[in-house]
A and B are shown apart, each in its own frame.
Chain A
Amino acid sequence: MPVSNSHLQALEAEAIHALREAAAVFRKPVILYSIGKDSSVLLHLALKAFHPAKPPFALLHVDTTWKFREMIAFRDRRMKELGLPLVVHVNQDGLARGIGPLTHGAAVHTDVMKTEALKQALDLHGFDAAIGGARRDEEPSRAKERIFSLRSASHRWDPRGQRPELWHLYNGRLNPGESIRVFPLSNWTELDIWTYIARENIPVVPLYFAAGRMVVERNGMLILRDDERLTLLPREMPELRWVRFRTLGCYPLTGAIESRADTVAAIIDELARSRTSERQGRAIDHGESSMERKKVEGYF
């Protein structure tokens, strides 16, 4: 399904407007850079919004230590190219306790190494706004998000007590300890993201493109064994398949999809015919209303 140019123009302008508001009204805003395609678009928009100056934001990556190695390599390469300051935060307490997705399961791992880690980082650096690439069409509870979304001093989201958001007037006023999550890409869809990546020629992690990769099938997901920590179970045999990733997270929790789409154009074509939702390969979403619960507790 073609996505028109003029509507991407409108989405781009709306996102730039939100980014500029964030820069102007917050004391110390930060871009939550998670290395994925949405973060890549967000970063590109930030470069545009403040040209010829550099974006007046620090970048924060919450590293669970279980990201794909290709993600980390891509992150370091991009930061070097752009000359932007990056803060990497790991929940050292969680690391010392040996928390991981294989030993503790998706829920505990995500809670400790992502949600808790994010809250630690925001508190540690005193960031009063975190700008993220989340989109309303990703997941039903996200459809209810504001573009400027208030978090309590304990980083909680109150979905039933949100500030009404009218016109393009974003209320970023805070009481002590409160913070705001800013979502400039709220109105974008997955297809918009890829069409924009194509139009703007935005670099993304190569894992999004189909290639022959050694994967094992576990719990119905195709898992890429990115390092030795993932030990194979009896009768599990890695096999070479043509796969790509639709979203990127912690490698043991992120399923690949079988695909031959090895260019942005091929991905757009594949998406137009897709019958499944974007995050269906994410183990952390499954279970009753788990995204809403995670968001209430402070997850992005």
Chain B
Amino acid sequence: MNPDRDGGLLRFIACGSVDDGKSTLIGRLLVDADVVPDDRRAAAPDLAGLLDGLQAEREQGITIDVGYRYFSTPRRRFIVADTPGHEQYTRNMATGASTADLAVILVDATKGLLPQTIRHSAIVALMGIRRIVLAVNKMDLVGYREDRFAAIVEGYATMAGELGLRDVTAIPVSALHGDNVMRPSAAMPWYRGPTLLRHLETVPAAPAADQPFRLAVQWINRDAGFRGYAGTVLGGSVRPGDEVVVLPSGVAARVARIVTYEGDLDRAVAGHAVTLTLDPEVDVGRGDVIAAAGAPPHLSDQFAAHIVWLGDAPMLPGRPYLLRLGTATTTATVSELKHRLDIASGAQRPAKQLEPNDIGLANLSLDRALPFDTYEDNRETGGFILIDRLSNATVGAGMIRFPLRRAANLAWQDFTVDKTTRAAIKGHRPAVLWFTGLSGAGKSTIADGVERRLSALGHHTYLLDGDNVRHGLSRDLGFTDADRVENIRRVIETARLMADAGLIVLVSFISPFRAERRLARERLADDAFLEIFVDTPIEICERRDPKGLYHKARVGELRNFTGIDSAYEPPDAPDLHLRTLDMTIDDEVERVIQALQRRGVFD
């Protein structure tokens, strides 16, 4: 194969706003590469209009969502990610950049470098793109002047250097007239470099870095005595006979065969979709990584990562999300948000949560150790997404910066006297009763009644009350969503310790979010856990207003008050649903006691 004739596939992203002429430039590339059919050309009002796919985009004249365009020249096939310049640009640019080898950054020659030029470049750098084309557009409007071009290029070089972008090729163009897009510009004889298209045709695609072998197992292929592991090679290369290690188990083996439909291969490289067989046949499942034995990936349940927040609701430290890394899925929480990145200035700002389109550096804590590389070493094995556990939406994208080894240093100490021993002394099994509901719903009253009954029956209890905890354990926390999540996390862990000590723990907490109650259920799964929904309509709670809080919230003296200006998410399937308007306090207490008996907490 002649490498000059076969440039393969180049994926690039075009960054800029409507005003920079980004859509016009891509439209110009498509027209000059002669890939626009006549009927579609005739239907578009202008070059930019060729790109608008959705009705709303055509109506509003803006790009809303990432779109992909395809064209080829005799030398190369191209995929262009076309991303909006304004709306949700961080989220859409991160998406488009995640698979791109190169970024074309547009600057309007009449305006020069703008804050958005910095923002676009910073996101591109963060997403691991190293090759930049600085397309200085609208040269026709500045009289095709060389000094104007040179000033912009010089300014950009300084900025790019600070972002670690060293591979920058600057090209003066006029997308509207086609200068230096495909044909060299007669109006700019002072420019001797390649046209944009020529540069894109000849620039090397992503450097075939010297990565060690990685394959994330997607599918176990079983067929009449055959057992193979199907997956795409995500880094390096592999040959039969190579020594590999399966992670997280750490079992060693040799590659026996590289199986494909066309027959066995003697070598597979990054990007190939293959099926491996191992010798000996060890235990391998989906989510495992098969890696070069001599250069295995990191294995840890904690790491630091940059997170781009894509969700509509903010990212809250302590809230569990699903983390998808390679083909593995596990639960993860942000254990510490170190800072939020101010993209325009590069400054690191303290933050308690990430808003939509924010970027932050955070420590993540996983439910189990997973194999990974840093994003810098391998984009495929160092990039992950976060998924909301209730909506299943993709809410975050992360780039792993370095592993944290705390988990390895903190060994779990086992002691002789355990939970069963303590329960035997008490004469009951430990349990956690989680009362949730609006302020003023009657949680504390019911919990108090239950505790008195239990005490009278000779059971050892403890009541964790929302207000009381706020005076001590959580004195440092406020009432933002992020602080509420951290508050609940502390209460969950405290309840867990008390249950481990053998107590029946009553937790009386508004606990407005489903995600945290679900976390409580999971963390306390070893014990009898009852989610008790104290269901009183808000009008009644507000009329009762035992602490005068609803009044304060209504007159604006109290912010983030649940039910007024902060949401309460009612339980979908509580273990007990106490509709307080239809019951007396004695009925309610009796229902709880019966539920504990049914769960075998005591007889």
The answer to whether A144 touches B271 (Cβ under 8 A) is no
In the complex, what distance in Å separates the CA atom of A9 from the CA atom of B238?
17
The answer to whether A164 touches B310 (Cβ under 8 A) is yes
In the complex, what distance in Å separates the CA atom of A142 from the CA atom of B53?
7
In the complex, what distance in Å separates the CA atom of A13 from the CA atom of B324?
21
- Also in contact, A137 and B65, with CB within 8 A (given A166-B94, A292-B54): no
The answer to whether B52 touches A20 (Cβ under 8 A) is no
The answer to whether the Cβ of B291 comes within 8 Å of any Cβ in the partner chain is: no
- Also in contact, A143 and B72, with CB within 8 A (given A21-B218, A24-B218, A166-B94): no
In the complex, what distance in Å separates the CA atom of A189 from the CA atom of B286?
31
The answer to whether A5 touches B37 (Cβ under 8 A) is no
Which residues of B lie under 8 Å from residue A21 when comparing CB positions?
Answer: 218, 327
Instruction: Looking at the assembled complex, report how far the CB atom of A155 sits from the nearest CB atom of chain B, in whole angstroms.
Output: 17
For this complex, into which size category does the number of interface residues on chain A fall? 35 or more
In the complex, what distance in Å separates the CA atom of A20 from the CA atom of B219?
6
The answer to whether the Cβ of B539 comes within 8 Å of any Cβ in the partner chain is: no
Chain A 282-297 interface mask (CB, 8 Å, partner B; 1/0):
0000001100100000
The answer to whether B39 touches A164 (Cβ under 8 A) is no
Which residues of B lie under 8 Å from residue A53 when comparing CB positions?
Answer: 221-223, 226
The answer to whether A24 touches B219 (Cβ under 8 A) is yes
Stretch touching chain B among A65-73, A109-117, A120-128, A271-279: A271-279
- Also in contact, A144 and B222, with CB within 8 A (given A1-B72, A12-B273): no
The answer to whether B273 touches A13 (Cβ under 8 A) is yes
In the complex, what distance in Å separates the CA atom of A192 from the CA atom of B94?
27
Instruction: Looking at the assembled complex, report how far the CB atom of A126 sits from the nearest CB atom of chain B, in whole angstroms.
Output: 18
In the complex, what distance in Å separates the CA atom of A171 from the CA atom of B385?
9
Instruction: Looking at the assembled complex, report how far the CB atom of B458 sits from the nearest CB atom of chain A, in whole angstroms.
Output: 44
Stretch touching chain A among B118-126, B363-371, B388-396: B388-396
In the complex, what distance in Å separates the CA atom of A192 from the CA atom of B29?
19
The answer to whether the Cβ of A152 comes within 8 Å of any Cβ in the partner chain is: no
Which residues of B lie under 8 Å from residue A288 when comparing CB positions?
Answer: 55
Instruction: Looking at the assembled complex, report how far the CB atom of A241 sits from the nearest CB atom of chain B, in whole angstroms.
Output: 21
Which residues of A lie under 8 Å from residue B223 when comparing CB positions?
Answer: 52-54
Chain A 159-189 interface mask (CB, 8 Å, partner B; 1/0):
1101111111101011100100000001101
The answer to whether B54 touches A51 (Cβ under 8 A) is no
Residue in A4, A48, A162 whose CB lies within 8 Å of B7: A4
Which residues of B lie under 8 Å from residue A83 when comparing CB positions?
Answer: none
The answer to whether B273 touches A49 (Cβ under 8 A) is yes
The answer to whether B271 touches A10 (Cβ under 8 A) is yes
Which residues of B lie under 8 Å from residue A108 when comparing CB positions?
Answer: none
Chain A 238-282 interface mask (CB, 8 Å, partner B; 1/0):
000000000000000000000000000000000000111110100
The answer to whether A5 touches B322 (Cβ under 8 A) is no
Residue in B272, B391, B394 whose CB lies within 8 Å of A164: B394
The answer to whether the Cβ of B166 comes within 8 Å of any Cβ in the partner chain is: no
Which residues of A lie under 8 Å from residue B95 when comparing CB positions?
Answer: 164-166
The answer to whether A274 touches B219 (Cβ under 8 A) is no
The answer to whether the Cβ of B401 comes within 8 Å of any Cβ in the partner chain is: no
The answer to whether the Cβ of A3 comes within 8 Å of any Cβ in the partner chain is: yes
The answer to whether the Cβ of B1 comes within 8 Å of any Cβ in the partner chain is: yes
10 A-B pairs (CB sep. < 8 Å) = A20-B219, A24-B219, A24-B327, A52-B223, A144-B66, A164-B310, A164-B397, A166-B94, A166-B98, A168-B232
Sample of 19 more A-B contacts, CB < 8 Å, known A12-B273, A52-B224, A276-B39: A1-B73, A4-B8, A16-B273, A20-B230, A53-B226, A136-B68, A140-B40, A143-B68, A144-B53, A164-B397, A166-B94, A166-B99, A168-B99, A169-B324, A169-B384, A175-B391, A186-B68, A189-B72, A278-B37
